[in-house]
Amino acid sequence: MPDTDSDATSAARVLVVEDEAVVAIDVRHRLTRLGYAVVGIADTGEQAVDMAGELVPDLILMDIMLAGKMDGVEAAACIRDRYAVPVVFLTAHSDRATLRRAGGAGPYGYLIKPFEERELQSALEIALYKSRMERKLAKTERLTAVTLKCLGEGLLTADETGHVVFANPAAERLLGVPAAAIVGQPLDVVYRATPGEANGATEREVAVLHCPGGHDVPVEQTTSPILDARGTSLGTVVVFRDVSLRQAAERALRDSVANLRCALTETVNALTVTSEKRDPFTAGHQQRVSHLAAALAGRLGLSEEECEGIRVAGLVHDIGKIHVPSEILAKPEALNAMEMGIVHGHCAVGHEILKDIPFPWPVARMVLEHHERMDGSGYPGRLGPEAVLMASRILALADVVEAMNSHRPYRVAPGREAALAEIRSGRGRLYDPDVVDCCLELFLRDGYRF
């Protein structure tokens, strides 16, 4: 059975238009034998038009010469304009004038009387196939047209000569010019943009569009060639979008982040000052630890953001000492076991103080872990290396090295060489070996100084 656009297994529905009854009956019988469904027979052009609208056939087999005021050519043209039903002419007249006139109605084929069934089937199948393809193409064109009209991005299409052949409503709006004034103009006249840098997130180029009205608009743009199957240029398409609101939002966000970072910096500085007011003998200790820890992190290849987190943690790593009595902090002799226990509690206290502050880094955890050791002998959790952050190991080493380079009430500073000897002897046992090696290079090869 012939297939249709909607159902490949159903018979195509055919309307026969023929004013000779014997011929009409013969055509109907032939169509039935071939598997088509004859939905009706009309004998005038007027009746054919009416039945086409009522029955909506898949195809019309139309005699050119009909009784009445409207012949087959006029009826076919009317049906084409109103209902878009394909028509195959059935005629005994094959002279040039008749065929030329019939061609104006846009027929899908011709059958010259008399004809054989195979000729009838071939003509109808070709007409049905052509009709299906045209409907599919029309559907695709409608979908594309509606999509382009609804597209929020401006779109300009130019032909191979560089002249604009299409502009969607968004392009009209962004350019401030109606499509009628855009189409037909050279693309480089209508669309003038100063290119900038590529947007890494979207892979689109950022540009400044100079609109015909005299104002400039920041846009993201993509220009692509239109090529045929052989690679020959058929034209160019430009897609662009206004990014002024997004850029304004990004600026506002950057300003907000800068303000938050400023507030965070001031908060951290305030915490640092608060801590060191309690222990004037170690004034500057946290800043020096912070600087060394950040230098170690950078040398170890940590990201800029990770280095900043370690720097901030270094500035407040001893904030927990505010719970330690001043008498203990300033005691000019070795601490007893009870006093040492109080001092050891400063890590947990610091964690409690900082844990609810929404730092973008694990600052509270670094403060908690900065006295842990690789062999589990540290405090407060006696954690092994697998449980301690790399950032905490860096901070721990920086704290040891700086402390041994500073005086305390109960001792003079052992000095740099003693500090480096300490971390060498504790490499892999107390301190992370990579951090130790990095610290030794920093002091001995690069000449780092507090």
pLDDT at site 1: 40
Instruction: Give per-residue pLDDT as tens, 238-265.
Output: 999 999 988 888 899 888 888 877 877 7
Instruction: Give per-residue pLDDT as tens, 94-111.
Output: 778 878 888 888 899 989
Query: Could you write out the DSSP letters of every residue in 129-145?
Result: HHHHHHHHHHHHHHHHH
pTM for the whole structure: 0.52
φ, ψ (nearest 5 deg) of residue 84: 55, 40
Mean pLDDT of 278-295: 83
Helix (H) or strand (E) holding 79: helix 72-83
CA proximity to 394, closest of 298, 321, 262: 298
Question: Is residue 302 classed as helix, strand or coil in its secondary structure?
Answer: coil
Structural domains of the chain ordered from first start: 13-148 (3.40.50.2300), 153-242 (3.30.450.20), 249-444 (1.10.3210.10)
Displacement of CA 404 from its chain's centroid (Å): 53
Mean pLDDT of 75-103: 87
CA atoms within 13 A on the CB side of 159: 6
Share of the chain above pLDDT 90, in %: 61
Query: Could you write out the DSSP letters of every residue in 235-264?
Result: EEEEEEEE-HHHHHHHHHHHHHHHHHHHHH
Residue 152 predicted with pLDDT over 90: no
Please count the helices (runs of H) and the strands (runs of E) in the chain: 18, 11
- Rounded CA-CA distance 442/309 in Å is 20
Give the single-character DSSP code of 431: B
Instruction: Give per-residue pLDDT as tens, 362-419.
Output: 999 999 999 999 999 999 999 988 999 999 999 999 999 999 988 777 777 888 999 9
